[in-house]
Amino acid sequence: MGPTRRPGQLATRASEEFDNLSDFIWKAPRLVESERTLELAKLERYFPDDVESREVRWRAESLKLDHVFPYLVAIGNLFALLSLFESYMLALCVELQSRTAVELNSIGGTGIRRLLKFLRKVGIAPDDLYLHQQVQVAIKIRNCLIHASGVLSWSHDNDDLRELQRTGAYLSPEHQSVRTKQGGEYVYLQPSALGDRLMVRNEYCHVLCSCLRTYFVALCDKADRVAMPVPRA
């Protein structure tokens, strides 16, 4: 991301970056499928007359292709998305700091919560914007995956995340409708030795990318209405 810009310029630049990331997220699973084709070809090349060795190798490779790689793709995309979102949120707050009497350093807290508190302080109500809940849920999901590897019993948001996953409230109303028709879950629970783990599919990242872009552009629109300070005579 380049130097700080006015809200409208930030919105334009953010839209471009989110669009690029959205395209990568959409195409990322094809990278895994390309590897599948390569690995299948290797079986014949490496073990032309050894069926048992082919089976041993394929058990190891198919585990990665079917489970490990898709998980890493989805998690990596989720982290990249929210990192991009938070960097633009910070840039927006820095811009607003230059046109108000409020200093960002005067706001307590950390991370995105601190930035949201700052926005409220300068007269913007992020909570009232469409998709605010979905953005907040995405941050909770990201934090659970980072700090607890998705194990819900280790997360401070255990009960909330279980309910949000059950109801599908991590999605916008429009995407909840699609979820119901398809009968699938973009965010789901997986049993483990440590208890239920929260898991995400790459499809969730693709939907979330659009959500974050829409929300940030709406914030910039609100920010453009924050009056610049009147210069002293």
- pLDDT at position 191 is 96
Tens of pLDDT, residue by residue over 66-77, are 999 999 999 999
Q: Is residue 232 part of a domain?
A: no
Q: Is residue 47 part of a domain?
A: yes
Q: Is residue 231 part of a domain?
A: no
Q: Is residue 192 part of a domain?
A: yes
C-alpha closest to that of 17 among 104, 86, 75 = 86
Query: Number of folded domains in the chain?
Result: 1
Yes or no: say if 203 and 186 are a contact pair by the CB < 8 Å rule: yes
Yes or no: say if 93 and 106 are a contact pair by the CB < 8 Å rule: no
Where does the pLDDT of residue 17 fall: very low under 50, low under 70, confident under 90, or very high at 90 and above?
A: very high
- Using DSSP bridges, classify how beta strands 197-200 and 187-190 pair: parallel, antiparallel or unpaired: antiparallel
Domain extent at residue 18: 7-223
Q: Is residue 1 part of a domain?
A: no
> What does the alpha-carbon distance between residue 209 and residue 206 come to, in Å, rounded to a whole number?
5
Percent of the chain surpassing pLDDT 90: 82
Q: What is the mean pLDDT of residues 104-122?
A: 93
Instruction: Quickly list H helices, 149-185.
Output: 158-167, 173-182
Amino acid occupying residue 109: G
Q: Is residue 228 part of a domain?
A: no
Where does the pLDDT of residue 199 fall: very low under 50, low under 70, confident under 90, or very high at 90 and above?
A: very high
